[in-house]
Structure 1
Amino acid sequence: MSDGQWWFCLKHMRVEPDQGCPNKDRLGPYATEQEAAGALQRAADRNKSWDEADEADD
């Protein structure tokens, strides 16, 4: 069990504990395994929000 550090590995497309792939291949850290599992959706939602904000500024 991890000490609260969870990551989403972009290379293997899975959640990993602290001991895993190099950080350059991961998103995180997250406090829970569930949060890490939602990393790609969270990134997509943020990107969409930022794109909409940029369009509103133009």
Structure 2
Amino acid sequence: MSDAANDGDWWFCLKHMKVEHGAGCPDKDRMGPYPSQSEAANALETARQRNEAWKKQDAGFDGDD
């Protein structure tokens, strides 16, 4: 028996702003897959944190001439 909460097929739907499990909205409208429901639920916060880290990293470069 598979534990649906841990089968790694969790997504965050940007169209409906909710977590989806398995087949759902088209991938173009989703973030993921994530290994758990809670990670999918935190997709927007994870993306925000990563974007902030990349922004800080980019600020350290003088350019790519």
Same fold (TM over 0.5): yes
Q: Percent identity?
A: 55
The question of 1:12 aligning with 2:12 is answered: no
Q: Whose radius of gyration is greater, 1 or 2?
A: 2
Other-structure match for 2:28? 24
Q: 1:43 aligns to what?
A: 47
Structure 2, unmatched stretches of 5+, are: none
Moved over 6 A (4+): none
TM-score where L is the length of structure 1: 0.92
Whole-angstrom CA distance in 2 between matches of 1:35 and 1:45: 13
RMSD value, Cα: 1.2
State the Cα deviation string for residues 1-58 of structure 1 (Å, max 9, x = none): 4643000000000000111100000000001000000000000000000000010113
Number of equivalent positions? 58
When normalised by structure 2's length, the TM-score is 0.82
